[in-house]
Amino acid sequence: MKYIDQIELKGKKVFLRVDFNVPIKEGNVTSDTRVRAHIQTINYALEKKARLIIASHLGRPKGKRVEEMSLKPVVKMLSGLLQQEVVFVDESVGGKVEQAISKMKDGDIVLLENLRFNPGEDKNDKDFARQLASLCDIYINDAFAVAHRAAASNSAITDYVKTCAAGFLLKNEIEYFQKALVNPARPVAAIIGGAKVSDKIGVLENLIDKVDKLLIGGAMAFTFLKARGLEVGKSLCEEEILDTARKIMQKAKDKNVQFLLPADVACAKEAAADAAVKICSVKEIPAEQMGLDIGPATITLFSDALKGVKTVIWNGPLGMFELAPFSKGTFALAEVVGNSNAISIIGGGDTETAIKKAGQHTKMSYISTGGGAFLELLEGKTLPGIAALNK
Strand 163-166 with 138-141, pairing: parallel
Element (H, E) at 206: helix 201-208
User: What's the Cα-to-Cα distance from 353 to each of 3, 65, 260, 317, 361, rounded to whole Å?
Assistant: 30, 31, 24, 9, 9
Catalytic one among 49, 126, 179, 196?
Answer: 196
Question: Which SS3 state, helix, strand or coil, does residue 279 take?
Answer: strand
Catalytic one among 59, 107, 338, 372?
Answer: 372
Residue 280's DSSP bridge partners are 265
Structural domains in the chain, sorted by start: 4-170 (3.40.50.1260), 184-378 (3.40.50.1260)
Choose the weakest-confidence range: 212-221, 267-276, 364-373.
364-373
Q: What is the value of pTM for the model shown? A: 0.88
Strand 24-25 with 28-29, pairing: antiparallel
The torsion angles phi and psi of 305, rounded to 5 degrees, stand at: -65, -25
Catalytic one among 59, 107, 338, 349?
Answer: 349
Can 372 be counted among the known catalytic residues? Answer: yes
The whole-angstrom separation of Cα 135 and Cα 291 is 55
Buried b (16+ CB within 10 A) or exposed e, 36-52: ebbebbbebbbebebbb
Query: Is the pLDDT confidence value at 391 over 80?
Result: no
Can 196 be counted among the known catalytic residues? Answer: yes
What pLDDT is recorded for position 318?
96
Buried b (16+ CB within 10 A) or exposed e, 255-275: eebebbbbbbbbbbeeeeeeb
DSSP 97-166: HHHHHHT--TT-EEEE--GGGSHHHHTT-HHHHHHHHTT-SEEEE--GGGTTS--TTTTGGGGT-SEEEE
For residue range 146-203, what is the model confidence (pLDDT) as tens digits?
Answer: 999 999 999 999 999 999 999 999 999 998 888 888 889 999 999 999 988 888 999 9
The whole-angstrom separation of Cα 130 and Cα 135 is 9
Query: Is the pLDDT confidence value at 375 over 90?
Result: no
Catalytic one among 34, 171, 200, 210?
Answer: 34
Longest dimension (CA), the chain: 71
